[in-house]
Amino acid sequence: MALIVHKYGGTSMGSVERILNVAKRVTKWQKAGHQVVVVPSAMSGETNRLLSLAKEITADADPRELDQIASTGEQVSSGLLALALQAQGTAAISYAGWQVVIKTDSAHTKARIQGIEKDKVLQDLANGKVVVITGFQGVDELGNITTLGRGGSDTSAVAIAAALGAHECLIYTDVDGVYTTDPRICDEARRLEKITFEEMMEMASLGSKVLQIRSVEFAGKYRVQTRVLSSLTDPMIPLDVEMNSGTLITFEEENNMEAAVISGIAFARDEAKITVLGVPDRPGIAYQILGPIADAMIDVDMIIQNQSVDGKTDFTFTVPRSDYQRALDILKSKVQTHIAARDMMGDPKVSKVSVVGVGMRSHVGIASKMFRTLSEEGINIQMISTSEIKISVLIDEKYMELAVRSLHKAFELEQRP
């Protein structure tokens, strides 16, 4: 008997029929002798619907109220799942984050989990119940409901698995594992049986939304065995088949994603670029530009400072597209005063495409192959950033899918290494 955490995403919870299937699958695991905690997302489209209602009222909503609103989607799906389990004769109880308690900081809409109380959950499990816990939400020390950022149910699940010392965290979703790239963009994408934790971190941080980055961080920090697998198979498939399906995140170096040099391609479609022109090239200038951006909790990603000419330089950086206007507004008042720059310009229609692989450490020529492939497609590279195991380029949004597909082909990712 093992304690297992299941997480079901929006599509997996998308209708009453799907919820009944989830209940069947969970019941199957419990009947096989396991203790099961289930973390559902809101039904697909629900979080967007809730947030768009808020947007109809104001474009500048109070983040506390946004959390109050957005968190309800998970409460509904959790209650429905508990009912579906009970209807199938499986004892079940659902809890919201604050009832567990899942403690977070107060950074509304992107809160971080600080601790999870486990006694009540363990007690229920010991009493033979399936425990359903809302994904995506927690509560701060003042009792405010918080949410963990879009896609945050993954993080709830892995954090709960870590807190309970679960044997495994199974992330059930609408694809049957982690692929070499998003299968919706590239037909040739291939499922990976294993991916190293390090590579999964890069893939998630570079835009692969199959797992929220913080869930991967938790998996790494607490060594939670995590597997991504399909919720759309027959719920009654034999347990031993299901247990070995999907993609396992491994911590062993030698399992480096089936030993490929490049293991996957990630992309972030919604990026934006800001350039401050004619900046005096003196100490402190990067801080003067990026300090106020960081103070506004806007994540800066790629940064380039040009060679200075006559003591002036151009400074370019990227931010998520959703923060583009805010970043421009923050800098507008400072560009000609504090920063003493000549001007500022921006482009909100850029995307980032990255190739990822631990094999890069021991192979040369990956960057040149990437750049050659893009140039053969006539795609202009606007910015480049690299780490030991990834190379990212910023390009015009309209070439993003073409870039992903041509790189996938150039690195022969459709073939098993």
Q: Which residues bind ligand ASP (CB under 6 A)?
A: 9-10, 41-42, 47, 73, 135-136, 150-154
Site residues (CB under 6 A) for ligand ADP, limited to 119-178: 151, 173-175, 178
Task: List residues bridging with 162 in a β-sheet.
Answer: none
Per-residue interface string for the shown chain with ligand ADP, residues 207-246, x marking contact by CB under 6 A: -xxx------------------------------------
Which residues sit opposite 345 in a β-bridge?
A: 275
Query: Within 35-74, which residues bind ligand ADP (CB under 6 A)?
Result: 41
Structure tokens at 50: 């809730």
Tell whether residue 10 is a contact of ligand ADP (CB under 6 A): yes
What are the φ and ψ backbone dihedral angles of 41, each rounded to 5 degrees?
-85, 175
Segment interacting with ligand ADP, rule: CB under 6 A, options 121-129, 206-214, 349-357, 409-417: 206-214
**E strands along 109-255, which residues?**
113-116, 130-133, 137-139, 145-147, 168-173, 194-196, 226-230, 247-250
CB 268 to ligand ADP: min, Å: 11
Measured CA angle at 389 (ends 387, 393), to 5 deg: 60
Helical ranges in 296-392 per DSSP H: 324-335, 366-376
Q: Closest separation between CB of residue 43 and ligand ASP, Å?
A: 9
Residues 144-163 interacting with Mg ion (rule: CB under 5 A): 151
3-state helix, strand and coil shares in percent for the chain, rounded to the nearest 5: 40, 25, 35
Task: Tell me the closest approach of the beta carbon of residue 151 to ligand ADP, in angstroms.
Answer: 5
Residue 182 interaction partner, one of ligand ASP, ligand ADP, Mg ion, none, beta carbon < 5-8 Å per kind: ligand ADP
What's the N-to-C CA distance of the chain in angstroms?
36
**What's the min distance (Å) between Cβ of 371 and ligand ADP?**
22
E runs forming strands in 174-280: 194-196, 226-230, 247-250, 264-280
Whose Cβ is closer to Mg ion: residue 210's or residue 400's? 210
Q: Give the residue nearest to ligand ADP (CB).
A: 9
**9/207 with CB nearer Mg ion:** 9
DSSP type of residue 299: P
Task: Find the binder of ligand ADP among 11, 72, 94, 406 (CB under 6 A).
Answer: 11
Interface residues for Mg ion in 4-33 (CB under 5 A)? Answer: 9
Which alpha helices (DSSP H) does 88-130 contain, by range?
A: 97-100, 119-126
Q: Nearest to residue 355, comparing CAs of 367, 345, 344? A: 367
Residue 214 vs 405, nearer CB to Mg ion: 214
> Distance between CA atoms of 265 and 271, rounded to whole angstroms?
17
135 binds, among ligand ADP, Mg ion, ligand ASP, none (CB under 5 to 8 A by kind): ligand ASP
Q: Please give the C-alpha separations between residue 354 and each of 204, 210, 268, 301, 383, in angstroms, as whole numbers.
A: 11, 15, 9, 13, 12
Closest CB to ligand ASP among residues 41, 75: 41
Interface positions, 373-412, toward ligand ADP (CB under 6 A): none
Binding string to ligand ADP for residues 241 to 270, with x set by CB under 6 A, is what?
A: -----------------------x------
For residue 17, the minimal CB distance to ligand ADP (Å) is 17
Contacting Mg ion within 186-205 (CB under 5 A)? none
Give me the least distance between CB of 14 and ligand ASP, in Å please.
11
Three-state SS string over 358-374 comes to HHHHHCCCHHHHHHHHH
Residue closest to Mg ion when measured from CB atoms: 151
Query: According to CB under 6 A, which one of 29, 136, 179, 218 is a site residue for ligand ADP?
Result: 179
Assess contact for 377 and 293: CB atoms under 8 A.
no
Tell me which H or E stretch contains 386: strand 383-387
Residues lying near ligand ADP in the complex (CB under 6 A) are found at 9-12, 41, 151, 173-175, 178-179, 181-184, 208-210, 264
Binding site for Mg ion (CB under 5 A): 9, 151
